[in-house]
């Protein structure tokens, strides 16, 4: 079981571009792209990383942007699993 991080720990570990939605108990980032299909491709790649980690984000694909939201349902809050996947998603988007 992963340990839930408190707000200070989340703030200290948040990868670039991500913010802590304390009300939703999630971390989130909206990735922006030059085209809708680039966003779709990113989401597909993110799905692959999610399956690899067996840790799955919520993703909303919109015009030239994808909002990604992460929390660890099994733990009831944000854990290191969310931070780790967020970092990998940042690398994917580079
Ligand atoms: C049974 C449970 O759903 C699985 O262990 C995995 C699947 N993907 C998951 N994804 C996320 N975001 N949180 C989880 O707790 C989680 N659990």
- pTM reported for the whole predicted model: 0.95
Nearest CA to ligand 1 atom 3: 74
Distances (CA, A) of 18 to 1, 37: 24, 22
C-beta 82 within 6 A of ligand 1: no
19-61 residue pLDDT tens: 999 999 999 999 999 999 999 999 999 999 999 999 999 999 9
Q: Does the beta carbon of 51 sit less than 6 angstroms from any atom of ligand 1?
A: no
Model ipTM over 0.90: yes
Mean pLDDT of the chain: 97
d(CA 71, CA 69): 7
For residue 10 the two structure tokens come to: 């989340």
Query: Max Cα separation, the chain?
Result: 39
Cβ of 63 less than 6 Å from ligand 1: no
Q: Which CATH superfamily is domain 7-93 in?
A: Transcriptional coactivator/pterin dehydratase (3.30.1360.20)
pLDDT at 1 over 60: no
Check: CB of residue 90 under 8 Å from CB of residue 82.
Answer: no
């Amino acid at each position: 079981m992963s340990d839930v991080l408190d707000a200070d720990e989340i703030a200290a570990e948040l990868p670039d571009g991500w913010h802590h939605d304390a009300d939703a108990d999630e971390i989130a980032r909206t990735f922006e792209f030059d085209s809708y299909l680039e966003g779709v491709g990113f989401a597909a790649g993110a799905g692959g990383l999610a399956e690899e980690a067996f840790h799955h984000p919520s993703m909303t694909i919109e015009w030239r942007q994808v909002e990604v939201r992460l929390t660890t349902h099994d733990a009831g809050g944000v854990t290191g699993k969310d931070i780790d996947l967020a970092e990998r998603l940042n690398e994917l988007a580079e």
